[in-house]
Amino acid sequence: MVLHISDKLRLAALAAATALALAACGGGSEKDAKGGKGAVAQNGQKPPAPVVGVVTVHPETVSVTTELPGRLESNRTADVRAQVGGIIQKRLFEEGSYVRAGQPLYQLDNSTYAANLESARAQLATAQASQAKAAADVSRYRPLVEADAISKQEYDAAVTAKRSADASVKAANAAIKSAQISLGRSRIVAPISGFIGQSLVSEGTLLNAGDTTKLATIRQTNPMYVNVTQSATEVMKLRQNIADGKLQAVNGGIEVDIKFEDGSTYGQKGRLLFADPTVNENTGQITLRASIPNEGNVLMPGLYVRVLINQAQIPNAFVVPQQAVTRGKQDTVMIVNAQGGMEPRTVTVAQQQGSNWIISDGLKDGDKVVADGATIAGMMMQQGAKKVTPKEWTPPAKAASGGAPAQGQPAGKASSAPAAAQAASEKK
């Protein structure tokens, strides 16, 4: 095979390029094997300290919130019932509407009661006529008996007839009142103000006197009551902690919040009305009742809710994110000290508050608590870093709304990621 001069020159250039590439790779490997930190040696700089998110804590008074299940109920409930018998002629309200006390609800057939009233009035007229005659007889007999024109016996009979006539008038008046009451009760009215539910009877239904048939139910829904039960053991422990000075009693009344099944919270706060002073022997529970305003009629009777009760307060407590605490036999957090190093601190967790822990002991005012201590400590061990740069941590919800780190990731983690990547690249 015969090669032209141009082909020979092309092959020579390719061989030279391959040799240069191999030399460069070999030199780089040798340099890494000897130095291991070539970038740091050339620049004469150390990798920057990782940036970690911290929460600077300060003491505050924190409410001890107890979450208990409960059911809402109306503060007043009245069943509408008939007090007299009769056939229902007409329903006078709209189902589900708001009715006021005394508002007519049903009209019964009142013809019989109207006739009884007229009969009572007629009896009163008869009694009044007898009363007038008896009074005239007494007036006429009095001077005659004094003049011995008639016997004493005749006069006493006239006086007795007068008293009997007076009694008959009173009885007739009472009969009229009774007839008027029965006639009035033939129109069934609302016993209380509130929202009325479904009508349980219709026109044409016959009601008997003294019948216990329920016609409808009226409920007052503003305010609402919520009944909850709490373990007697928890109540006793709470009272003991208050007596020992570990907790403070809430002054000015105990506030309550309502949480629905979807996790949302009712916009208005209620107040605890009372706690039953006795313990249920069968369940070991204590009943508590709270009053909740319901001006917009949002709450409904029978609704299942979670009740948050601020039963006491913890003085000089600290609030830190849950991920900042490592739970175990001894709960610990990581603190960034004045020298920029991290050190563990044993703490006492008193209670949970949403996504935070309430720390009652172990922290001091101004301590910088690492927002995610366990993760940051592990990252520092991998990088071999001994110091960190603290940066105030932003909660995920605020970070997402403010364009800071992504939700669910502390600000410290997001800031330290570039530094970690740079340190890792420099090691390579």
Domains of the chain, start order: 51-72+221-422 (2.40.30.170), 83-108+186-212 (2.40.50.100), 110-185 (1.10.287.470)
pLDDT given for residue 37 in this prediction = 43
Peptide bond into 69 cis (omega under 30): no
Mean per-residue pLDDT for 24-47? 46
pLDDT given for residue 121 in this prediction = 94
Residue pair 376/52 in contact (Cβ under 8 Å)? The answer is yes
Mean per-residue pLDDT for 257-273? 87
Q: How confident is the model at residue 251 (pLDDT cuts 50, 70, 90)?
A: low
Share of the chain above pLDDT 70, in %: 76
Query: What residues contact residue 358 under an 8 Å CB cut-off, 6+ apart?
Result: 62, 314, 317, 318, 319, 349, 350, 351, 352
Q: How high does pLDDT run on average in the chain?
A: 78
> pLDDT at residue 368 above 50?
yes
Question: Poorest-confidence range of 34-48, 52-66, 286-300, 360-374?
Answer: 34-48
Place of tokens 């939700």: 407
pLDDT given for residue 128 in this prediction = 93
Q: Which residue has the higher pLDDT, 253 or 84?
A: 84
What value, to the nearest 5°, has the Cα angle with vertex 408 and ends 406 and 409?
65
- What is the pTM for the complete model shown? 0.59
Q: Using CB atoms within 10 Å of the CB of residue 4, give its burial: 0 to 12 exposed, 13 to 18 middle, 19+ buried.
A: exposed
pLDDT given for residue 400 in this prediction = 54
Give the tens place of pLDDT for each residue, 205-236.
Answer: 999 887 888 999 999 988 899 988 888 887 88
Instruction: Count the Cβ atoms, other than its own, within 10 Å of residue 384.
Output: 9
> pLDDT at residue 155 above 50?
yes
Give the tens place of pLDDT for each residue, 331-353.
Answer: 888 888 888 888 888 998 887 87
Question: Poorest-confidence range of 25-34, 94-103, 386-395?
Answer: 25-34
Token representation of residue 99: 């009715």
Place of tokens 């175990």: 328
pLDDT given for residue 248 in this prediction = 64
pLDDT given for residue 361 in this prediction = 86
pLDDT given for residue 330 in this prediction = 87
Q: How confident is the model at residue 68 (pLDDT cuts 50, 70, 90)?
A: confident
pLDDT given for residue 8 in this prediction = 43
> pLDDT at residue 38 above 60?
no
Q: Which residue has the higher pLDDT, 395 or 391?
A: 391
Q: How confident is the model at residue 385 (pLDDT cuts 50, 70, 90)?
A: low
352: closest CA among 317, 376, 380?
A: 317
pLDDT given for residue 78 in this prediction = 93
What string of H, E and C letters represents the secondary structure of 220-255? EEEEEEEEEEEEHHHHHHHHHHHHHCCCEECCCCCE
